[in-house]
Amino acid sequence: MTGPVGVLVMAYGSASGPEDVERYYTDIRGGRAPSAEHLDALRERYAAIGNRFPLLDITGRQAAGLEARLNAGHDGVFRAYIGMKHSRPSIAEAVERMRADGIDRAIGIVMAPHWSGMSVETYVERVERAVAERGGPRFTFVRSYHDHPLFVDLLASRVRDAIASLSGDNREKAAVVFSAHSLPVRSTEAGSLRCRDCECDPSCRYRDGLRETAELVAGRLGLDSFAIGWQSAGRTSDPWWGPPVDDVIRDLAGRGHPAVVVCSAGFTADHLEILYDLDIEAKAVAEDAGIEFARTEMPNADPAFVRALAVIVREHLGAVAAA
């Protein structure tokens, strides 16, 4: 092997500011601009979180930390790049930079722990399309890490910290909800619902992956039980995976839990789905139901998360070499 190994760190993307919200959501919608009403609602959500758009900065720090960790004691062996699905720098632009830098071999990793054909695999497709059109490195991909022990340990520590932040009397009986971004489902001829990733019914790899993460974290913490909820469903005519986190919180309150902790295990960074959907909407639901709310701190560029990513990348390289 000659030259550094490229590491393409990919994330969903984000508007760069209030003036970029329409462009961003038009891109997400495949070129269809959101309605004026929808656009106003989106801008109000961003305003409610202080017009913060931190995802690009966080992804950059994740990539920089990963590069530094991988190169510890071996400077220059790895070179990290970032590529965003719906904003710049795009995945295609990142692949082009890698090509221009002479990167011959690369690993792609998405800042989404659970595999889904509608999420992780679409990043892979964009990389492969860019390479096919313009050339570039030979890629292999980390497709999931939802069950990696270091990732599970990180989530367990965050859940433990969130429980500890609750009022003393509420900690013992607090409910823990594990969440991820909902995905669309479709109707079958028999009238049931199936995910768009596969032909399974009623479960799928994405949903099973979240449950596996939850079970592993619960096992680390000795939790007697936990709940699964889905968040941030899109505004489409299709049904989306449920139950929504908000409904789960109401149900848990009705069962007598005095507090709820939400661990958004399907996300790795602070952005609108965390700062608004959980910190504002879900919290308000909990308060209306009369229970205390806390959510786990996101991995962001925490050294523990960066360390986990580095181990995941190295293990992937080892598995590829052994294949």
Tokens representing 279 are: 């910190």
Q: What is the per-residue pLDDT for 191? A: 40
pTM exceeds 0.75 = yes
Which residues neighbour 100 within 8 Å (Cβ) at sequence distance 6 or greater?
none
Are 271 and 317 members of one domain?
no
Q: Which residues of the chain have pLDDT under 50?
A: 1, 187-193, 201-203
Q: What is the per-residue pLDDT for 194? A: 52
Are 122 and 200 members of one domain?
no
Q: What is the per-residue pLDDT for 3? A: 85
Are 154 and 129 members of one domain?
no
Tell me the three state secondary structure of residue 182.
Answer: coil
Q: What is the per-residue pLDDT for 203? A: 44
Are 67 and 179 members of one domain?
no
3-class SS string, 187-251: ECCCCCEEECCCCCCCCCHHHHHHHHHHHHHHHHHCCCCCEEEEECCCCCCCCECCCEHHHHHHH
Q: Are the beta carbons of 177 and 262 closer than 8 angstroms?
A: yes
Domain containing residue 109: CATH number = 3.40.50.1400
Which of 108, 28, 24 is closest to 63 using CA atoms? 108
Q: What is the per-residue pLDDT for 76? A: 84
Q: What is the per-residue pLDDT for 232? A: 95
Are 141 and 176 members of one domain?
no
Are 201 and 305 members of one domain?
no
Q: Are the beta carbons of 309 and 62 closer than 8 angstroms?
A: yes
Q: Are the beta carbons of 111 and 62 closer than 8 angstroms?
A: yes
- C-alpha–C-alpha distance, residues 19 and 282, integer Å: 27
Are 273 and 310 members of one domain?
no
Are 64 and 47 members of one domain?
yes
Tell me the three state secondary structure of residue 264.
Answer: coil
Are 88 and 50 members of one domain?
yes
User: Which whole-number Å values give the CA distances from 171 to 263, 285, 290, in the listed order?
Assistant: 15, 19, 15
Are 31 and 73 members of one domain?
yes
- C-alpha–C-alpha distance, residues 240 and 236, integer Å: 9
According to DSSP, the β-strands at 185-187 and 193-195 are antiparallel
Total structural domains within the chain? 2
Range of the domain at 208: 149-295
